[in-house]
Amino acid sequence: MSKAIQAGWLKIQKEGGEPKVVRAVDSIVDTVQKNLKALSKDVTVNVDLATVNEYKKRKLMQQVTVTSYKISKGNHFTTTIEKPETDLTLELISSGDWKVKKFKTYNFNALGTPVACGHLHPLLKVRSEFRQIFLEMGFSEMPTNRFIESSFWNFDALFQPQQHPARDAHDTFFLTRPANCSTIEPTYMEKVKKVHSVGDYGSQGYGYNWKIEEAQKNVMRTHTTAVSARMLYAAGEQKPFKPVKLFSIDRVFRNETLDATHLAEFHQVEGVVADRNITLGHLLGTIKQFFSRLGIEKIRFKPAYNPYTEPSMEIFAYHPGLKRWVEVGNSGMFRPEMLLPMDIPSDVHVIAWGLSLERPTMIRYGIDNIRDLVGPKVDLQMVYNNPLCRLDKHSN
Amino acid sequence: MPSVPIKRDVLFDKLGQKMTDEEFDILCFQFGIELDEIFVDENDPKSIVQYKIDIPANRYDLLCIEGLSRALLVFLQKIEAPVYTAISPPTPIQTVVKSSTNGVRPYVVTAVLRNVTLDQVAYDSLIELQEKLHHNICRKRSLVAIGVHDLDTLTPPFVYSAEPQTEICFKPLNQDKEFRVDELMVFYQSSHHLKHYLHITKDEPLHPVIRDLKGVVVSIPPIINGDHSKVTMDTKNIFIECTATDLTKANIVLDILVTMIGEHAKVKFEAEATTVLYEETQEVKVYPSLAYRKESIDVKSVNELIGIDITAEEMAKGLSRMTLNSKVQNENTLEVEIPPTRHDVIHTCDIIEDVAIAYGYDNIEMNLPKTSCAAEQFPLNKLTDQLRESLAQAGFTEGLTFSLCSVDDECEKIRHPRADKEPTLARISNPKTLEFQAARNSLLPGILKTIQANKKMPLPLKLFEISDVVLLDSTQDTGARNERRLCAVNYNKTPGFEVIHGLLDRVMQNLEVPFHPTQGYSLRAAQDPTYFEGRCAEIVYGGKAFGKLGVLHPEVLENFELNLLGAALEISIENFL
């Protein structure tokens, strides 16, 4: 009815009481009926598209699409069904059928079968690389297979005073078993005691009462420099003095606050050169050569403080990815107060530098949380996927 | 490393120049300090920009804005280092030390600063400097405790003694009533700040106390000062007392306080000398020491050590920039004067470092030493790396687990009775958590934990680790030694004893050790609660067992939350070097 009213054929009268529908015109021309009749005879008749779409919308017309194909025989036409072969087989070869069979197309967009193989741990691959670099530079490996060390070798022999904060229970793991070390060579110990307490070898010393009980306390070593100290002591005992180039990469233990980048145990890398007339310039040069093997060319040195080296320097490298300078290591010349009690000749200078193994590995492989790299919570899939360790190749 | 918050604009004001953050960062880098952070205190209504600067642990003279700006001004050659003096008045203020302090805190050093003017910045700096010194060189007040007082509220001479806690009664700083010291020991338990220092003197029979002539309690070191002599911004004359168990450090601390606060005195950097009389020995000491020390250095050997070639004049100028004023004696000798702000300089090598810093580390020519050595590998590490390769080739994946563990890991979790096993473990005395109770004795728990964390990985899981464990050993000077072990685990729907056994055979083959009862290695049945009964063997070489292998006991699997089955191998490789 709305269409009729719209077309003007009917109108509604609302005067007086009930609404009435009345004829508005005397005769009508039903265009819709006329068009539909014409279209049903011949669909190509000239009715405009808008009207046709309206009829479709009103469900007066329905569009049916009929697709037709023209088929003809192709080159490989056959009346028998054949499944394509997936691969060459020995049967196909022996029967000769390989010449006539159809072969399925390979999907080169998928990966191959993962190789069933073993894997080395990413951090330890980096360790092997560092070992290799040191060996190539002529450095010999120190025997560091000793996690429990006496405070004497870990601190006192290095001229680190007994009241130094690092010797606090907050920073260092002490042992209840074995609690103390049993023997310290007495003559050497007296020299160490003297240089700490009242000074010697041109030093003022620290001016405190050095106690043997403190030196005897065992610790989980806080640095591999304790081993370097033992090695330098042995070098001092050798007469005449022979120059040495030494390195070590091994675990150290710190009782510090743990967070995403710090664990209680990590690997320290250390290099040492002891020779006559070694200069600070030699330390800079050696460090530059070492880091260039890691693919790091831009480095700077900042004055720093270590209890056992003077001068001391922190090593900074430019990280092209992060676009800033980051600290990559620590270094210095060992103090005379440490070397002279070891009977090392006074014209022998000892340079050393160190860094952690975990930090460059995490930066190189984009690992944010150290627990994803070290310890039982490592993701083995990451270990499986880890590439060859090529430190001088930068990741993109 | 201590860090000091410095108000940026106050610093640039003192330096007499404004810098961008980058320029200041570069200056810090050259000088040897580090601009760690630029921040605004969220509680600060004025939102003042501050620099957090990291200071080397031995530079007590840089722990406040006065010292830091002064050192940088000298470094930048804008001023010369000040001369610090202590003038003796006709009757110096004396502190008498009673012998009662001998057993608890025997030493005290004192000083007076006259006619000081403290604005808010100086006042805040003074408080902060004491905190920093207390925390670092004073070893949290245990070695030295500082008290700074308004001298005009007190009547010298002073007496430093030690008395029973119940006999000392006074109004402590910022309190409104009197307390006895024993009451304070309880009261301050709830003080976030002071509770950390109570243990130093709490259980001592006598407690240190300083009183003036009228008996007014000046302080009860190392806990708190009296409210009576509180320093305010109106204070004109300051009395400093440092009580200590380490006299050397007390001296250093006093020198630092005097030289730093001395900037605010009317006659800058001039302190008033005081005396300390030790009653027992009748020894009289004068403080502050403010000692200047002279050292001669040889220009040629300093140049050679660093690897530079500068003249004596250039070297002297460089050292003066580091506040080590130097005089050229001749073309090869300098006389260097070490001021009381530089107690970190204790040997010529400290002076040499300052020559290098003034020269600029980045300006030193880099060379390689001519030292020629043929490199040698540590045989145990060489063997380890070769075996690691071989195990990876055999299809096993390497783990890396922790050397520290819980006692549980070495006992209950692998079914070793605690009573027998625990005494064989190296024990940590101060573990923060259970994970650091002991040094591991075996590699197996670590590998099982790695499997536990990777249960979703495809099977089989074949893991190995070659690393050190710690064994007690009384023949070693430390009482312990490391042993290099190889451990491998096969984890699958079946235990795979034959897989682990095959791996052992392969390792022995790599080591050229034949399977032979006398001339090589052999297996013999063994008992070990970690392994399933009847499925465990010892591996023997040269008549001694050097390891075990077996099927893991179901309870062990359960303890590590492993749902499938496993077999394991653990051997020492040290016999095969």
How would you list the strands of the sheet with B397-398, edge to edge?
A: B397-398, B461-472, B480-492, B565-572, B544-552, B531-541, B521-525
| Cβ-contact B360, B354 below 8 angstroms | no
Q: Nearest-5° angle of CA B381, CA B384, CA B385?
A: 90
pLDDT for the residue numbered B130: 96
- How buried is residue B510: exposed, middle or buried, by Cβ count under 10 Å (0-12/13-18/19+)? middle
Nearest to B349 among A124, A128, A310 (CB): A310
pTM of the model: 0.87
CB contact under 8 A, B450 and A378: yes
Nearest to B362 among A131, A139, A300 (CB): A300
Tokens in use for A127?
């360790």
Task: State the smallest CA–CA distance between residue B524 and chain A in angstroms.
Answer: 29
Where is average pLDDT lowest: B210-214, B245-249, B432-436, B497-501?
B432-436
Residues A306-321: pLDDT tens digits? Answer: 999 999 999 999 888 7
- Distance CA(B309)–CA(B314), nearest Å, equals 10
Cα distances (Å, whole numbers) of residue A372 to A88, B438, B447: 44, 23, 15
Q: Does A327 touch chain B (CB under 8 A)?
A: no
- List the one residue out of B50, B54, B14 whose CA is nearest residue B33: B54
Q: How confident is the model at residue A171 (pLDDT cuts 50, 70, 90)?
A: confident
Mean pLDDT confidence for B74-93: 95
Q: Does A105 touch chain B (CB under 8 A)?
A: no
CB contact under 8 A, A275 and B369: yes
Mean pLDDT confidence for B179-190: 93
- ipTM for the predicted complex: 0.92
pLDDT for the residue numbered A43: 67
Task: State the smallest CA–CA distance between residue A122 and chain B in angstroms.
Answer: 9
CB contact under 8 A, A141 and B376: yes
- List the one residue out of B398, B288, B297, B388 whose CA is nearest residue B348: B297
pLDDT for the residue numbered A41: 78
The rounded percent of chain B whose pLDDT value lies above 90 is 95
- Distance CA(B275)–CA(B435), nearest Å, equals 54
A25 pLDDT above the threshold of 50: yes
Cα distances (Å, whole numbers) of residue A200 to A190, A249, B522: 11, 33, 59
Where is average pLDDT lowest: A15-29, A97-111, B11-25, B203-217?
A15-29
- List the one residue out of A309, A332, A341 whose CA is nearest residue A195: A341
CB contact under 8 A, B353 and A310: yes
Q: What share of chain A is helix, strand, coil (3-state, %, to 5)?
A: 30, 20, 45
- List the one residue out of B528, B531, B514 whose CA is nearest residue B567: B531
Nearest to B468 among A147, A180, A220 (CB): A147
Q: How confident is the model at residue B132 (pLDDT cuts 50, 70, 90)?
A: very high
Q: Nearest-5° angle of CA B377, CA B383, CA B384?
A: 105
Which residues in chain A have Cβ-Cβ distances shorter than 8 Å to B247? 207
Place of tokens 């004192």: B110
Q: Does A329 touch chain B (CB under 8 A)?
A: no
Task: State the smallest CA–CA distance between residue A273 and chain B in angstroms.
Answer: 8
Which residues 38-57 of A have a C-beta within 8 angstroms of B? Answer: none
pLDDT for the residue numbered A80: 77
| Cβ-contact B270, B111 below 8 angstroms | no
A394 pLDDT above the threshold of 80: no
| Cβ-contact B122, B285 below 8 angstroms | no
| Cβ-contact B442, B485 below 8 angstroms | yes
Single-letter amino acid, residue A200: D
Q: What share of chain B is helix, strand, coil (3-state, %, to 5)?
A: 35, 30, 40
Mutation to test the A interface, candidates B25, B55, B349, B407, most A Cβ within 10 Å: B349
A219 φ/ψ angles, rounded to the nearest 5 degrees? -135, 160
Q: Give the end-to-end CA distance of chain B in Å, rounded to a whole number.
A: 43
pLDDT for the residue numbered A396: 42
- Distance CA(A190)–CA(A210), nearest Å, equals 10
Tokens in use for B222?
């190392």
Dihedral sign computed on CA atoms, order B158, B160, B163, B168: positive
- List the one residue out of B202, B481, B548 whose CA is nearest residue A218: B481
